[in-house]
Amino acid sequence: MTIHTFRSCLLAGAVLFASGCGKQERSEAVQLAKTLQQQKATFDAANAAEQDLVTKSKAWCRGIMESGAGKGTGLDQNAAQAAQFAKDAVAISTQLSQVRQGIDAVSLTEEFPRGVKNELTTALTKRQRLLHDLRTLADQLSPQFLAYKGMKDYAGDSYPDGLTKFDEALRTHMRPDDSVATAIAALQEKFEFAAGEI
């Protein structure tokens, strides 16, 4: 074998290797994009539910801060509402867990699709931590309303300290991002999927 022939073989081998790596990366990107599309409806439902939870909770807090927590059945109703907000936060976090589990099930080795997956997983984890904080505050708030029922000097025009903390958490809560759509767009831009490919 001549030197020229040997070099030609090396070049051909390098091209085939690079082509194989690119094919693997694209295959993983397609797999991830398909999974994200499958999880999109669940993610969108979680986003809508979270925004609804925050909007309703803010209005509820504002009403109590302006008029007080009430007395008798009013306290029972506010305690029940706080407990419901906590349950809603758990339900939304469960939906996000389903999305995470679907994404985690995709095995990736190539850098770009793995990076998209990791960034999305980080965003979902952050969302769930914020929801956990809201649930904890709402859970703590519920018995604080009921505690007023045993206070003889309570006139109904004040509210628990826990409500202030809950309200502060809500006011700093950012509108949920459509991170799944962002991930799909990043994959589409990189790999230019053909119609029907994903």
Predicted local distance difference test score (pLDDT) of residue 17: 39
**Mean pLDDT of all residues in 173-182:** 92
Segment (H or E) for 60: helix 3-67
Q: What does the pLDDT look like over 63-113, one tens digit per residue?
A: 999 999 999 999 999 999 999 999 999 999 999 999 999 999 999 999 999
In one-letter notation, the amino acid at residue 46 is A
Predicted local distance difference test score (pLDDT) of residue 191: 95
- For 4, other C-beta atoms within 10 Å of its C-beta total 8
Q: Are the beta carbons of 115 and 183 closer than 8 angstroms?
A: no
**Mean pLDDT of all residues in 171-192:** 94
Q: What does the pLDDT look like over 6-34, one tens digit per residue?
A: 344 334 443 333 444 589 999 999 999 99
Q: Which string of b and e fits 90-107 if b means at least 16 CB within 10 Å?
A: eebbebbeebbeebeebe
Cβ neighbourhood burial of 20 (10 Å; 0-12, 13-18, 19+): exposed
Predicted local distance difference test score (pLDDT) of residue 14: 38
Sequence-distant (≥ 6) Cβ neighbours of residue 125 within 8 angstroms? 100
**What residue has token string 């925004």?**
51
> What is residue 175's DSSP assignment?
P
Sequence-distant (≥ 6) Cβ neighbours of residue 111 within 8 angstroms? 25
Q: Are the beta carbons of 121 and 102 closer than 8 angstroms?
A: no
| The token pair that represents 79 in the structure block | 């305690």
Which has the minimum average pLDDT: 3-7, 143-147, 166-170?
Answer: 3-7
Q: Is the pLDDT of residue 40 over 70?
A: yes
Predicted local distance difference test score (pLDDT) of residue 198: 82
pTM: 0.84
Q: Is the pLDDT of residue 38 over 50?
A: yes
Predicted local distance difference test score (pLDDT) of residue 9: 39
